[in-house]
Chain A
Amino acid sequence: MTSHSRGAAREGSGHFIAQRFTALALLLLGPWFVIAAAVSLRGGGYTSAIDFLSHPVNAVATILLLVFGLYHMQLGMQEVVLDYIAKPTTKVLLLVLNALVPLALGAGAIFAVLAVNFGV
């Protein structure tokens, strides 16, 4: 019965710490992206988007934003699903979807940033 000593889910504190750790990273990366993108993309054209993502600092910070943001939102949505969805099949389906969607988006979006910089 050792599992009981760690609570029902046995991973609650890891979730708690990861959510706050990613929150701290996003506290810097989020406002940076909003302001940098707003200033760089104000003209709004395709070339200004390419110019923005071609700068190494912007590319790296955007990839970090994606990693921390997608992980943070996955943790948050997991909490929402566990809180509000009672029906077991719906709950499991949504949890699986929540595990896969951020992963697929992360792979696609990081590849997109790399493709802009190095070509495909």
Chain B
Amino acid sequence: MAGATRPRQRPVSPHLQVWRWHITMASSILHRLTGIALYGATILLALWLMAVAGGAEMYAPVQALLASPWGQAGLYLTIAAFAYHLANGVRHLVFDFGRGLNPSDADSSAWFAILFALAAPFGVWALATFGA
């Protein structure tokens, strides 16, 4: 009778805080976060195009913002988010074909996507500065 009051231990839903943090989990969360960020970046791209069409006067403040440290930091983050979403998107396309899913491959491709994202803005900056 004493035992009847205590419910049997049942499996619980895996809450976020009981998971050991690992890179493939970070890569999945980052894919969503960068996707949402790129939604905002695409809105800004559309507004940028409208500002260009609006004429030199309308474009001047946009140009000032893009050249400012805030604008440059925003461009760095946008290119990094895009590079990440692109590399991780390719990773997912490979996953769709059932490849690269074993833990060690999935770990190293996740790290590659993150490092690629951090490096890509410097690559773009180098192209813009020293390119043809």
Total interface residues in chain B, CB < 8 Å:
34
Does more than half of chain B's interface fall in helix, strand or loop, or is it mixed?
helix
Once the chains bind, are B39 and A73 in contact (CB under 8 Å)? yes
Provide the residues of chain B in CB contact with A113, threshold 8 Å: 49, 53
Total interface residues in chain A, CB < 8 Å:
37
Once the chains bind, are B56 and A39 in contact (CB under 8 Å)? no
In the complex, whether B73 has a CB less than 8 A from a CB of chain A is: no
Residue from A46, A62, A111 within 8 A of B56 (CB atoms)? A46
Residue from B56, B82, B129 within 8 A of A42 (CB atoms)? B129
What is the distance, in angstroms, from A105's C-beta to the closest C-beta of chain B?
4
Interface residues of B (CB under 8 A from A): 32, 35-36, 38-39, 42-43, 45-46, 49-50, 52-54, 56, 59-60, 63, 66-67, 79, 82, 86, 89-90, 93, 96, 124-125, 127-129, 131-132
